[in-house]
Amino acid sequence: MARRVSRVRMTGPLARYAEEFKAVLAARGYTPLSAVNQVRLLAHVSRWLEGRGLGAEEFTVELMEEFLLERRAEGYRHLRTCRGMQPLVRFLRDRGVAAVESAATAREDSPSEVALEEYRGYLVEERALANSTISQRIGVARTFLDGRCRLEGDTVALEEVTAAEVIAFVTAQCRDHSVGWAKNLVTGLRSLLRFLHVRGYLDLPLWAAVPPVAGWRGGAL
């Protein structure tokens, strides 16, 4: 029997867990969009298992990797890595449902990839940006986030960032680059910092601290 959660149509062996999964995500502080994307992922896994005549308890590490290969091949643009599946896998494992172990979800990506995966989903779903723009902004985000993210239990934490550090980052990155390159960097960094603040990674709206780029190299930096 099909169910609907947040307008996501549910069929298959995981459908009965959808409402509870949504509630768990909300309790963990996920934004409505991020939660819906995770529920959509659950729906996709459930349909995939149903199509193969498998139950939830048969969802092993090997099957998860097979599922992700097919998800990428079908053109899905986010939540298509082991790390992106961590919230769902943890939820199912905690209820004794799936056979996927937690270690499998951590072997592919660094902690920063968790935030990057959510950011990519935001750029795709909410901003509907072109692929080239998304790639450019993810590149800026990865440069900024590498080394700043860490795991705290089951969640990702971002070390405290100050306005001075944001300015220092822009100054260092823009050195010896063109004005056009610098403009792309500051636009991408403002987008990332706005997302991190809304998502709860950062307490302060630090996008306002990103300095403008003047009409000549380094003029405003």
Summarize pLDDT for 78-101 with one digit per residue, the tens: 777 777 788 888 898 888 887 776
Q: How far is Cα 82 from Cα 61, in angstroms, rounded to an integer?
A: 9
Cα angle, residue 24 at apex, residues 192 and 52 outer, rounded to 5°? 95
123-161 pLDDT, tens digit each: 887 888 888 888 889 889 988 887 676 655 545 667 778
pTM higher than 0.75, yes or no?
A: no
Q: How far is Cα 83 from Cα 106, in angstroms, rounded to an integer?
A: 6
45-69 pLDDT, tens digit each: 999 999 999 998 888 888 888 898 8
Q: How far is Cα 130 from Cα 120, in angstroms, rounded to an integer?
A: 12
| φ, ψ of residue 137 in degrees (nearest 5) | -70, -35
